[in-house]
Amino acid sequence: MRKAVQHFIDGQWVDSDGGAAYDVINPATAQPCATGVMGTRADVDRAVAAARRAFDGFSRTSVDERLALLDAIIAGYKARMPEIAQVISEEMGAPIGFATMAQAPAGLGHFIAARKALAGFEFESDAGGARVVHEGIGVVGMITPWNWPVNQIAAKVGPALAAGNTIVLKPSEECPGNAIILAEIIAEAGVPAGVFNLVQGDGPTVGAAMAEHPGIDMISITGSTRAGIAVAQAAAATVKRVHQELGGKAPNLVLPGTDLAAMLPATVQGVIANSGQSCIAPTRILVSAEQRAEAETVIRDIVAATPVSDPSEMGGHIGPLVNAHQFARVQDLIQSAIDEGATLLTGGVGRPEGHEAGYFVKPTVLSGVTPAMRIWREETFGPVATITEYDGIEEGVRLANDTPYGLSATVTGDPEAAKAVVPRLRAGLVTVNSWAPNGIVPFGGYGQSGNGREGGKWGLADFMEVKAIIGA
C-alpha cells in the first residue's frame, strides 16, 4: 500500500505540523489502497511563506526561462503517465483503460496548452501613449477535485507557472497520489524551491485556511457550487481574486428531426464516461414530443449496453463512483425521481449484479422527468440520464436554460440547424454533436457554475494582473 504522508513545501518533502494520517479508499473494493495525511493551518502557513519568498524572483524570470521549465515538466510528465493513470484508477475508480487514454493525457494536454499560450502571449501593449502590461498576480492557492484530478490540477498549475506566479496546491483527499507524482515531476524539472508547494488535506481545514489567508493573492477552486460559495465567503475579508469552476447540470438539446440512432451515441456517451462523474455531463436529454418514444428506445439501449466492471481490468466498461457518500447520493436521486413520477427505463437503485462490494451504480435512464423533480435541478454525478420532452424548439431552448448552472450545454442534430440555437444557450461551453472541451478554448461557466476561465490565452490571462504605466 502506497504511503504519501508528507507535504511538498519549499522544495522539500516535509512532515505535517500536527496532521494525522488517513486511509485513501479504493472505491472498487471499499478497502484502503494508500495512506495520506490531513494537513493543518500551520502547514498552510509554512507553504504560503515559502511561496511568498519565491515570488519576487520567479515573477521576474523571462518567458524563455518559463518555457524551458514547462518543457521539462512536459517531458517528465510523459515519462510517468503510466504511474499517474494507475493511481487515478486505484484511488478514484476510473477504469485503467480510461485513466490511460483520457484521465492522464488530459493533464499533459493542459501543460502543452499552457506552453503554447505562453509562447504567443502579448505581455505588453500600447494604449494612448502609455504601456499596458500583464504580470503574475502573486501567490495562487489552488483547490482541486477528485473526478478529473490531474486534469484540473494541470489546468491551474500550467498557466499559473507560465504567468510567473507561485503556488500552494490542495488536491482532493480522495485521490492525492497523482498530485504527489506531479510534485516529483515539477521538482525534477528544476522549478525553483517555493514556487510550487503541495499541502494535503480536506476542505474544512486546509481549503478554508487557504481561502482566508492574507498571504494568498488568488484562490482558484474547482468543485461543487456549495464549496465555491464557502471559499468566496472566506476569501472576501482579504479581497483576493476568486476564480471558480463549479457545478453543472448540462442539457442535451436534441433538435427535431434528428437521426437519433446515428447521432445520439456520441452525446449520450458524455453521461456514461467517467461513470458520469463529469461536471459537463449532458444528463438532461431534451427531445421533441414527436421523437420521444424513439429516443427512449435508443437512449435505453445505449445505456443498458454499458458494461460495469473492475477498474483494474482493461476494457470499455465504467467503474464505481468515488466513495460511499457519492454512491448514496446517486441512489437517493434515482429513487426520488421514481417516487416523483419518472419512468425507469433501465438501471435503477442498487448495485449491478456481481458487484456486491464497492460503490458501483447501475447505468440508469429515467423518462418523463419534469422541472419539478429534484433530479432535474440537482447535479447527479453518476451514470444517470433523464429524458424530458418539449413541444417546439422555443420550449426546448427554455428547458435547456432552466437551471441555475451554466457550465456547458450540448446540441445533438444538424450542425446547420444548431447555428440558430447555440447563441441562445446560457452556458460557457456549447458543443454540437460532442460533449467535451479541447483544452485550448476558454472553459468556465455562467451563473452558479462559477466565474473566470481556464484554457489557452484566456486561462493564462486569468492568472495575471493588468498594470497601466504612464510616463515611464
- Taking phi over 0 as left and psi of -120 to 50 as alpha, with beta for the rest, 432 belongs to beta
**If DSSP codes are grouped into helix, strand and coil, which group holds residue 12?**
strand
Helix, strand, or coil (residue 429): strand
What is the rounded distance in angstroms from the CA atom of residue 7 to the CA atom of residue 48? 13
Neighbours of 360 (CB within 10 A): 26
Q: Which residue has the cell 502547514?
A: 43
- Identify the bridge partners of residue 124 per DSSP, sorted by sequence position: 133
User: Among this protein's residues, is 245 annotated catalytic?
Assistant: yes
279 is catalytic: yes
For the four alpha carbons of 376, 308, 350 and 31, in that order, the dihedral sign comes to negative
Beta-carbon contacts of 297 under 8 Å, excluding residues fewer than 6 positions away, are none
Question: HEC string of 212-261?
Answer: HCCCCCEEEEECCHHHHHHHHHHHHHHCCEEEEECCCCCEEEECCCCCHH
Cell of 283: 444528463
Q: Which of 90, 91, 174, 245 is catalytic?
A: 245
Contact present, 440 and 113 (Cβ < 8 Å): yes
Cβ atoms of 175 and 205 within 8 Å: the answer is no
Give me the residues paired with residue 443 across strands.
Answer: 454
**Rounded-to-integer distance, Cα 348 and Cα 364, Å:** 6
Q: What is the chain's percent helix, strand, coil content, to nearest 5?
A: 40, 25, 35
DSSP per residue, 163-207: TT-EEEEE--TT--HHHHHHHHHHHHTTPPTTTEEE----IIIII
Q: β-pairing, 405-406 with 446-447?
A: antiparallel
Residue of 90, 175, 212, 279 marked catalytic: 279
Exposed, middle or buried by CB within 10 Å (0-12, 13-18, 19+), for 295? buried
139's grid cell: 501567490
Q: How far is CA 459 from the centre of its chain?
A: 14
463 CB-near residues (< 8 Å, 6+ apart): 136, 137, 140, 159, 160, 162, 163, 165, 218, 220
| Catalytic residue IDs | 245, 279
